Amino acid sequence: MSSIYLIDFYASSGCSFFHRRHVIGKFIGYLLLLLTTVFTSSLYRVGILLIVALTLLFIAGIPLKQALKWAAYPAFFALIFALAQLGSGLLPYLTLARAVTAALFSIFFFTTTPFPEFLSIFSGISKGLVSFLLFSYRFFFLLLSTVEKKLRIMKLRGGMCWKRLPMNLAKLAGFFFVDFIDRSETIYQTVALRGFTGQIFITSNKRFQFTDLIFIVGILFLISGLLWI
Amino acid sequence: MHIHIPDGVLPFWLWGGGYAVILVLLGLFSNFLRRGGSKIALAAMFTAFSLIVMSVPLGLPVHLNLLSLVGIILGPIWSFYVAFVVNLVLAGFGHGGATIVGLNTLLLWVQAAAAYYLFSYLLRPIFHQVSLRAAAAVFVGLIISFGFLVLLAALPHQRPMQLFAPSHHHHHHAEESEHAIHHHAEEIEPTEIDGHHDHGQSPASDETFNLTVFVGLSGPLFLLVAIFESLIAAGVAGFIVKVRPRMLIR
């Protein structure tokens, strides 16, 4: 089953130096590293950035095996693009390296930042969008356990054989689709009773500290050094 | 299914443009979020479900997305929000493509919106049976989305017809003059390993992308999953018509 719930687990339960940083500082640092990766056309520099990403994940206490497993997904799609670029020197390798490195930086940011904290960045921009994102985040965990339970039941009753699999999966999805109508009505009525007006404002409970500034400056130094060598 | 474009394969003007388009669309559709009522909760449930479905690989890192079906049920505007949030979350949660969220959202939205209009209007006179119509709408929606992907992959190149050449080096036939070869080699800036030629541009803008290979690799995979997804769509539509027909028959 899906393992992306682990990202939320690492973000919420971790207590490394990066977990304690303010979301704005981390977000700026993440954007700087991501954009450097995307704009770099040197395999050598992307290689260094890849090592930086793995080091950051290691320091943050994220299992590298799991992070690389997640990074296999963008690597697969980058491979299609890379194969189409064969015959153009190092470009295919660069395409692969950039996709994996950028994905690892994203994984680093989201495994060290709880999702509600990430949403606090957007609270000032669109409260409607933030409430939609929060609902989706909450429902993801609610549905994950239900979907897992239903799939287990289906498996135990022999519904996973290839002959019947598409129809059984379709019926299961259909069941959920119908169920969503009723559940969404109930949930909306419940939150409306509690005063929900379509907008939720989230703030980070951490304060932007001097260490956060040092974190950003450190990343800027790293990028400057990378461009200089 | 959709091909999730990873970071670093498209030039800045293209992915930046994707972000610009979705920002405009988010602004245009913002009223729907404000006055959404219970539809917010419903769309969020479909988003969560899509996230679960998309994070379950089918052998290879390939997955169903069911967004065309979501588009048929929720309509084009709410499916835009679903596509955006799904891509935003997946970009951070391991699928990559944080810089391509705009374009990946448009890719998913195109299939959802196309499936909606096909199901509700264009295919209505042809297919009277709802499950068949849903399957056809989903299949065509996915094909349109794939066409859009191929267009996005081709856009960074200035001369699209040359993209279909079998290989970059095969442009040059033996009878071509030495001067022509030399001139072409000068045009293409090689990727540097020593790191002295960063110009902040994606190498994807070089004319080294073979679209035939790209379509040849991704097309069959896409077609296989599109057929599977259409079968699922037919089953889902058949189930909904039996249980809650008003969800689909408007």
Q: How far apart are CA B198 and CA B245, in angstroms?
A: 58
Q: Which residues contact B102 (CB under 8 A, 6 or more apart)?
A: B15, B16, B17, B18, B19, B20, B21, B22, B23
Tens-digit pLDDT profile for residues B219-248: 888 898 889 899 999 999 999 999 888 888
What total number of domains does chain A contain?
2
In terms of CA atoms, which chain A residue is nearest residue B65? A173
pLDDT > 80? residue B165: no
Nearest residue, CB atoms, A143 vs list B7, B49, B217: B49
What is the CB-side half-sphere exposure of residue A118 using CA atoms within 13 A?
A: 22
CA distance B87 to chain A (A): 12
Let me know if residue A200 belongs to a domain: no
Instruction: State the pLDDT at residue A64.
Output: 94
DSSP 8-state secondary structure symbol assigned to residue B244: -
Phi, psi (degrees; rounded to nearest 5) at B60: -70, 170
Question: Does the beta-carbon distance from B9 to A227 stay under 8 Å?
Answer: no
Distance CA(A8)–CA(A137), nearest Å, equals 10
Per-residue pLDDT tens over the stretch A130-150: 989 999 998 988 888 888 898
Length of chain A in terms of residues written: 229
ipTM: 0.92
- d(Cα B130, Cα B249) in Å, to the nearest integer? 8
H helices present in A88-209, as ranges: 91-112, 115-119, 127-156, 165-193
Indicate whether A170 and A222 sit together in one domain.
Answer: no
Give the CA distances from residue A155 to residues A140, A150, B229, B250, in Å, rounded to whole numbers and listed in that order. Answer: 22, 9, 20, 35
By the 8 A CB rule, do A71 and B94 touch?
yes
- Residue range A83-87: mean pLDDT, rounded: 87
CB B96 within 8 A of CB B105: no
The domains of chain B are located at 12-185+202-247
Q: B38: which chain A residues are within 8 Å (Cβ-Cβ)? A: 184-185, 188-189
pLDDT tens, residue by residue, A47-76: 999 999 999 999 999 999 999 988 988 898
Are A40 and A115 contained in the same domain? yes
Interface contact A160, partner B, CB < 8 A: no
Question: Vertex B105, ends B212 and B138: CA angle to 5°?
Answer: 70
- Residue A110 domain-assigned? yes
Please tell me the distance in Å from B103's CA to the nearest CA on chain A: 15
pLDDT of residue B113: 96
Residues 14 through 73 of chain B touching chain A, CB cutoff 8 Å:
26, 30, 33-49, 51-53, 55-57, 60-62, 66, 69, 73
Residues of B in contact with A185 (CB under 8 A): 38, 41
Q: Same structural domain for residues A49 and A100?
A: yes
For position B63, what pLDDT does the model report? 72
Q: Give per-residue burial for A111-136: e unless 16+ CB within 10 Å, then b.
A: bbbbbbbbbbbebeebbbbbbbbbbb
Phi, psi of B192 (to 5 degrees): -90, 135
pLDDT exceeding 90 applies to what percent of chain A? 46
**Whether A101 and A176 share a structural domain:** no
The DSSP symbol for B94 reads I
Instruction: Report the 10 Å Cβ neighbour count for B77.
Output: 19
Q: How far is A94 from chain B, CA to nearest CA, in Å?
A: 8
Q: How confident is the model at residue B186 (pLDDT cuts 50, 70, 90)?
A: very low
Determine the residue among B40, B103, B172 to mutate to test chain A binding: the one whose Cβ has the most chain A Cβ atoms within 10 Å: B40
Q: Do A144 and B44 touch (CB under 8 A)?
A: no
Quick one: DSSP state of residue B191?
A: P
Do residues A45 and A114 share a domain? yes
Kindly state whether residues A115 and A131 are assigned to the same domain: no
Q: Which of A209, A218, A225, A224 is nearest to A21 (CA)?
A: A209
Domain made up of B12-185+202-247: CATH architecture: Orthogonal Bundle (1.10)
Which residues make beta-bridge pairs with A75?
none
Cβ distance A25 to A204 under 8 Å?
A: no
Domain encompassing residue A186: 127-193
A211/B196 Cα distance (integer angstroms)? 33
Q: Is residue A201 part of a domain?
A: no
- The set of long-range contacts for A12-16, using a CB threshold of 8 Å and a minimum separation of 24, is A12/A114, A14/A60, A14/A61, A14/A62, A14/A111, A14/A112, A16/A59, A16/A60, A16/A61, A16/A112
| pLDDT for residue B168 | 46
Kindly state whether residue A202 falls inside one of the protein's structural domains.
no
Q: Quote the mean pLDDT of chain B.
A: 80
CA B165 to chain A, closest CA, distance in angstroms equals 11
Could you tell me if A109 and A15 lie in one domain? Answer: yes
Angle, helix A127-156 to helix A5-13, in steps of 10 degrees: 120
pTM (2 d.p.):
0.87
Q: What is the residue type of A172? A: L
Query: For residues A85 and B243, what is the distance between their CA atoms, to the nearest angstrom?
Result: 49
**A14 and A61, same domain (yes or no):** yes
Token output for A144: 């994950």
Q: Out of B26, B39, B94, name the one closest to residue A4 (CB).
A: B94
Chain A's closest residue to B78, CA to CA, is A132
Residues of B in contact with A136 (CB under 8 A): 44, 47-48, 51, 85, 89
Nearest Cα to Cα of residue A114 among A15, A213, A183, A215: A15
Interface test with chain B among A96, A132, A188, by most B beta carbons within 10 Å? A132
For residue B64, pLDDT over 80 is answered with no
* Contact between A178 and B3 using a beta-carbon 8 Å cutoff: no
Mutation test of the interface with chain A: which of B1, B2, B4, B9, choosing the one with the most A Cβ atoms within 10 A?
Answer: B9
Residue A199 included in any domain:
no
For residue range A158-167, list pLDDT tens digits in order: 887 878 888 8
Q: Which residues of B fall within a CB distance of 8 Å from A98?
A: 6-9
How close, in Å, is residue B160 to chain A by CA atoms?
14
Selecting from A35, A38, A74 the residue whose C-beta is nearest the C-beta of B95 gives A74
- pLDDT number for residue B1: 60
β-bridge partners, A42: B192
Q: Residue A1: which pLDDT band, with cuts at 50, 70 and 90? A: low
CA angle B104, B152, A87 (to 5 degrees): 115
Instruction: Select the residue of B12, B41, B168 nearest A87 (Cβ to Cβ).
Output: B168
Residues in chain A with CB shorter than 8 Å from the CB of B162 are none
Same domain, A132 and A114: no
User: A-B interface: how many C-beta pairs under 8 angstroms?
Assistant: 300
CB contact under 8 A, A4 and B93: yes
End-to-end CA distance of chain A: 44
